[in-house]
Structure 1
């Protein structure tokens, strides 16, 4: 199984390098902006760190987690095209180990992205001369838990053999849920706007933040508790599904 893991990591080396390059350039740029607020042309400008820092760490985390998590997507499609998938059925390795190797590679990539996301928070916080935020770390961990959904690409690719087909089916299947989420977000935003108007007499970024913060903090604590169970459940279900799809021997 080690050979299978090394093989997939080798095949995605270019994607990993590109993701790391984009990540380090972005973190360097964000750090320079933070430094310029006290040693550059942004010195003396009020509110830059307060509005910029919470966004910088989040986008850096997204680059690391999404880039690493989805950098493995087209391997199965290429395996079908090169007929490696057909050859893999003859290997003296059990089906469970073959599927487990794909999950291990995806897990390695996702954990690497998580480490990079936390590292970005540390670097940007140091550049902004601010303490590392425990709330930001929790947000990163929750985002990492949500990113375990990227494991769904493995059974989808085994079933459809084509990344575009898998993406279309996923979009169609999840469109009702996404529509419900957008509707809830719209209704919740309208509610917060009315609360900001009622409590503070005006609706702007500051009053909206005051209304949103208690709800956001509560939701974060709930998600942080649920996250470990979500990760284990998602990976277990997707592993069983992947094993089932692999044993169908689609070729």
Structure 2
């Protein structure tokens, strides 16, 4: 199984290097902006670092987590095109180990993305002369847990053999969830505006943030506790599904 893991890691080397280059350039640029708030053009500007710093770490985390897993998405499609998928059925390795190797590679990439995301938080915090935020670390870990939904790419690709088809099916399946989320966000924004007006006399970004933060803190704490159970359940579900699709022998 080690050979299968090394194989997939080798095949995604180019996209991984590209992701790392984009990541380090982005983190360097964000760090320079933070430094400029006390030693450059932005020196003396009030509130810049408070607004910029939370956004910088979040986008850096997204680049790391999404980028590291991106290169693995089309491996199965290329395996079908190169006939590797057909050859894999002749290997002296059980079906479970073959599928497990794909999930292990995906897990390695996710863990690497988490390390890079946390590293970005440390670097940007140092550049901004601020302590590393444990709340930001929690947010990164929760985002990483949600990224395990991307493991669904493995059984979907085994079933449809084409990344475009898999992406369309995923979008159609997620459309109701996305619509519900947008509706909830709209209703919650209206609630925050009404509460900000009632409590502080006007609905501004500052007053709405005061209303929003307690709810966000509670949601984050719940999400942080639920994340491990979510990860185990999602990965187990997609593993069983992927094993079933692999055994269908779609050439």
TM-score (norm 1): 0.99
For residues 134 and 141 of structure 1, the distance between their equivalents in structure 2, rounded to whole angstroms, comes to: 11
Q: Deviations over 1:153-209 (max 9, x none)?
A: 000000000000000011111111111111111111111111111111111110111
SS at match of 1:131: coil
For residues 71 and 120 of structure 2, the distance between their equivalents in structure 1, rounded to whole angstroms, comes to: 19
1:191 aligns with 2:187: no
For residues 243 and 214 of structure 2, the distance between their equivalents in structure 1, rounded to whole angstroms, comes to: 43
Q: Hey, what does 1:11 align to over in structure 2?
A: 11
**Deviation at 1:22?**
0.4
**Deviation at 1:71?**
2.0
**Deviation at 1:70?**
2.4
For residues 71 and 232 of structure 1, the distance between their equivalents in structure 2, rounded to whole angstroms, comes to: 23
Where does the alignment leave 5 or more consecutive residues of structure 2 unmatched? none
Q: Hey, what does 1:142 align to over in structure 2?
A: 142
Q: Hey, what does 2:234 align to over in structure 1?
A: 234
Pairs within 5 Å for 1:118-157 = 118-157=118-157
Q: Hey, what does 1:69 align to over in structure 2?
A: 69
Pairs within 5 Å for 1:1-251 = 1-251=1-251
For residues 177 and 23 of structure 1, the distance between their equivalents in structure 2, rounded to whole angstroms, comes to: 30
Q: Deviations over 1:45-79 (max 9, x none)?
A: 00010000000000000000000122200000000
| Paired residues of 1:4 and 1:101 also in contact (CA < 8 A) | yes
| Paired residues of 1:70 and 1:150 also in contact (CA < 8 A) | no
SS at match of 1:41: coil
For residues 207 and 17 of structure 2, the distance between their equivalents in structure 1, rounded to whole angstroms, comes to: 42
Count of aligned residue pairs for this structure pair = 251
Q: Deviations over 1:67-99 (max 9, x none)?
A: 012220000000000000000000010000000
SS at match of 2:103: helix
Moved over 2 A (4+): none
| Paired residues of 1:122 and 1:132 also in contact (CA < 8 A) | yes
Where does the alignment leave 5 or more consecutive residues of structure 1 unmatched? none
Tell me the C-alpha RMSD between the 2 structures. 0.5
